[in-house]
Structure 1
């Protein structure tokens, strides 16, 4: 991400309400990540803290009990490390290895058993699924698992282009980006902690698109082509368009 965007602070016209136990939730999240081997050293811990996942997610569940808010943060933490794994695999020519992990994650979502020999991310996913199952209705669980599968299918689609040193067409990029962004599972758990069910899923779709595409200009890196980022996506949103218009151009 460009340095100017790292330092940029965007003023908001309202005050964000934080969770009164945010520090305890942060510690709980760090302990959970360490328990599953996701945080292995001081450098990883420092990087994790700088992303301020706890503050972001608990702003959406400020009235939830500590256990529920911690679970929300852990789902977001899992998404953070999955994104890291996918990006690292792409940079080190291990996309096929990530695809194997992806397939195992999807098998767990569909009910496969998990053992001690499984990847830490697989065991962490199984843990959050089990704990969410205690709190959520069967309908919510089905939707959450469906949305997880969509996210992992999006990762798989991205990896096809990465392995082939190719870039998706502009008309196919929005749906792939939307699916791979992990925004829908995160919105699901925020709904759960608010004890609401969004019947109007179009609202979730619009908010998911806002989350997904508003970050493009603030550091989204196009899919690598060969050893460099050879394509740039331009995003245009105007008027009543709920789906961003994208153009794809090669650059030197």
Structure 2
């Protein structure tokens, strides 16, 4: 089913780009994961190498300086590590097992980043690496980004618990419910926060609460998640209910091919909506808003290009 996505999904009409430091990012993120114990298990190490978080970070933040895009690359590495623990190692099949992990991670976020990870004592590698990320964000001196980053990670962790409950109960969520929760389970919003930080020139909060810009941000998050769903369907089909095509099939009674076609159509319609919202937002927009919109374009295009070439979904 993997071959279905590239032929059915409209390629985002934005120029593909990549940060020139991608090789440096890959080496540094691998070293960071090793140093903090995320790759102590050989299987987990191999999965992280295949995921190639640095390649995705390089594609979505092509103009960022190496220090700030490294922070984004390390975040994506951490997200892949936790996602694999939930999906591949079975942690996410039982709320009772995943809840203590989430509790420790939330305790880390409640810091937020005030205590260096070296002073946190005996915590899990996932908690220590999360503490390191928060501490590094804090040191960059943008408290608004730190608060947005930690708040969206709280939402992400709650969504992981929601997914675990669904798996335990054998429950396939309704399409509308899935779309709402997928934005958080996909961890796109904390990734957006660090991408904005990496690209600098952040817009004032009064611009961020503009309804049209807020909707554009949500549509961009949905497109990133749905693109992921379409490319990963072949791997996930029959194993996990958390895929756009799967929930469409369950709700409509359609077979896999028809459900995939409907999911692709939803992506294509969402892309057309993004283009309309972009045109509206960029009318007389200040440079900071234009930069934010550019980061969302980069995320949509970068996710598509990374997904086409990624071995993570094979």
TM range (shorter): 0.7 to 0.9
Which of 193, 209, 219 aligns to 2:232? It is 219
Shift, 1:71, TM fit: 0.9
Once residues 201 and 133 of structure 1 are traced to their aligned partners in structure 2, the CA distance between those partners, rounded to angstroms, is: 25
Q: Which has the higher contact order (CA 8 A, sep 6+)?
A: 2
CA spacing shift, 1:64–1:171, aligned 2, 3 Å? closer
Instruction: Report the counterpart of residue 219 of structure 2 in structure 1.
Output: 206
Once residues 87 and 4 of structure 1 are traced to their aligned partners in structure 2, the CA distance between those partners, rounded to angstroms, is: 22
Instruction: Report the counterpart of residue 128 of structure 1 in structure 2.
Output: 133
- Contact kept, 8 Å, 2:92 with 2:164, in 1: the verdict is no
Instruction: Report the counterpart of residue 153 of structure 2 in structure 1.
Output: 148
Bigger drift between 207-216 and 106-115 goes to 106-115
Note the aligned Cα RMSD (angstroms): 3.2
Shift, 1:165, TM fit: 2.3
Deviations 1:75-97 (A, max 9, x none): 11111111111113547855422
Instruction: Report the counterpart of residue 190 of structure 1 in structure 2.
Output: 195
Q: Secondary structure at the match of 1:172?
A: helix
Q: Hey, which of these two has a bigger chunk of strand by percent?
A: 1
Structure 2 gap ranges (5+):
249-262, 275-314
TM-score (structure 2 length as normaliser) = 0.66
Instruction: Report the counterpart of residue 88 of structure 2 in structure 1.
Output: 88
Once residues 180 and 238 of structure 2 are traced to their aligned partners in structure 1, the CA distance between those partners, rounded to angstroms, is: 15
Once residues 222 and 92 of structure 2 are traced to their aligned partners in structure 1, the CA distance between those partners, rounded to angstroms, is: 29
Structure 1 gap ranges (5+):
243-252
Q: Secondary structure at the match of 2:88?
A: helix
Deviations 1:128-182 (A, max 9, x none): 0000111142112111111111111111111111122222223311112121110
Q: Hey, which of these two has a bigger chunk of helix by percent?
A: 2
- Contact kept, 8 Å, 2:174 with 2:247, in 1: the verdict is no
Once residues 67 and 41 of structure 2 are traced to their aligned partners in structure 1, the CA distance between those partners, rounded to angstroms, is: 25
Instruction: Report the counterpart of residue 65 of structure 1 in structure 2.
Output: 65
TM-score (structure 1 length as normaliser) = 0.80
CA spacing shift, 1:208–1:121, aligned 2, 3 Å? same
Once residues 174 and 77 of structure 2 are traced to their aligned partners in structure 1, the CA distance between those partners, rounded to angstroms, is: 31
Deviations 1:83-142 (A, max 9, x none): 111113547855422121012111211128763321110000000000011114211211
Deviations 1:163-212 (A, max 9, x none): 22222223311112121110111111111111133523322211001101
- Contact kept, 8 Å, 1:58 with 1:69, in 2: the verdict is yes
Shift, 1:42, TM fit: 5.3
Tell me the matched-pair count: 237
Shift, 1:241, TM fit: 6.8
Question: Counterparts of 1:4-19 in structure 2 under 5 Å?
Answer: 4=3, 16-19=16-19
Bigger drift between 85-94 and 116-125 goes to 85-94
CA spacing shift, 1:222–1:40, aligned 2, 3 Å? same
Shift, 1:53, TM fit: 1.6
Instruction: Report the counterpart of residue 32 of structure 1 in structure 2.
Output: 32
Once residues 71 and 225 of structure 2 are traced to their aligned partners in structure 1, the CA distance between those partners, rounded to angstroms, is: 22
Instruction: Report the counterpart of residue 23 of structure 1 in structure 2.
Output: 23
Instruction: Report the counterpart of residue 247 of structure 1 in structure 2.
Output: none
